[in-house]
Amino acid sequence: MSRRQAVRKAVFPVAGLGTRFLPATKSIPKEMLPIVDKPLIQYAVEEALEAGIDTLIFVTSRKKHAISDHFDTAFELETRLADAGKLELLARITEIVPEGVARVHVTQPEALGLGHAVLCAESVVGDEPFAIVLADDMIRSQGRGALAQMVDVHDQTGSSVIGVEEIPLEMTGSYGIVGVKPFAEKLQEIHTIVEKPAPEDAPSRLGVVGRYVLSPHVFSCLRDVQAGAGGEIQLTDGIAAMLKSHQVLACPFSGVRYDCGSRYGFIKATIDYALEHPGLRDDIIDHMLGILAQYLPEREP
């Protein structure tokens, strides 16, 4: 039996326009919007680092310099913090990415879909399994992070792994939906995957969330699939083609997911993370109690 390759590289597709957050995202990438005091992309990177990733591949557009700047060295700021003796703040910005972790930025020339964004990273990924992390899907875990849980499954089985969660039937039109058959405890093998089906056509209620551990074979599948509306190449179609020859498992990770691509999900995540922040918790609770006292009487029947 050939030795299984470890998952060491993660692709972060960050070239999207973030139109649901306009006008805020006119000049700021949506991945740089902060949840309390860290941008979405940093939470995603921290989850990847915990999973053992040592190469971060950002697929970005020509206008999104803020993301590369965030993970780069800020000499002037670091010098000022050091001179002022603000060592705790200094550590928070210098330890964002540990030494020994590579950062690679790849430009997606046109916004031609998630599958196309992943294809743009092929030359960096090479012929080895890799992760894909969508920063919009922010996952809070009490133990090991969602991606680490999925990497564990890959290490044990050698299979590709997709993060899933059960969603309301009426929401299938907003997700990629997988059809599955039993595989092992807490895991199922995917036999079909459909992009945004109507509820009556959905093969299950298991929706795909923004975490993947995939075989490099997906690149050849993506090159072969037909582009859809607007010339976009869907990652779902590439995975569907890969199912014919490669095993892909559905992993219902342990954790709470926030859809930070929506305004409601973003605000919900901000509140929950603020309540976990020791310096903010009491003030936030007092503020929320005041709001509830003001609005609850209006909602009584």
Give me the tens of pLDDT residue by residue for the chain, a chain 301 residues long: 345 788 999 999 988 777 888 888 888 888 989 999 899 999 999 999 999 999 999 998 877 788 888 888 778 888 888 888 888 888 887 878 888 899 999 988 888 889 999 999 999 999 999 999 999 999 998 889 999 999 999 999 999 999 999 999 999 988 889 999 988 878 899 999 998 999 999 999 999 999 999 999 999 999 988 777 667 889 999 999 999 999 999 999 888 999 998 999 999 999 999 999 888 999 999 999 998 888 876 665 5
Tell me the HSE value of 213 on the side-chain side, using a 13 A CA sphere.
30
Predicted local confidence at residue 94, as pLDDT: 80
* Cα gap 176→188, rounded to integer Å: 16
pLDDT for 300: 58
In a domain, 283, yes or no: no
User: Is 293 part of any domain?
Assistant: no
- Report CA-CA distances (Å) from 212 to 133, 153, 163, 198, 219: 7, 12, 6, 23, 14
* The amino acid at 241: A
Is residue 289 a part of any domain in this protein?
no
> Which is nearest to 244 in space by CA: 268, 224, 261, 272?
224
Number of domains in the chain: 1
Domain that holds residue 142: 9-261
| DSSP conformation class of 202 | -
* Within-domain flag for 287: no
Helix axes 146-157 and 40-50, enclosed angle (nearest 10): 30
Judge whether 67 lies within some domain.
yes
- DSSP, collapsed to helix, strand or coil, labels residue 211 as strand
Task: Return the CATH number at 170.
Answer: 3.90.550.10
Residue 267 lies in a domain: no
Helix axes 263-276 and 281-299, enclosed angle (nearest 10): 130
**Residue 275: Cβ within 10 Å count:** 14
Residue 178 lies in a domain: yes
- Give pLDDT, residue 287: 92
- How far is it, in rounded angstroms, from Cα 175 to Cα 92? 35
Does residue 212 lie in a domain region? yes
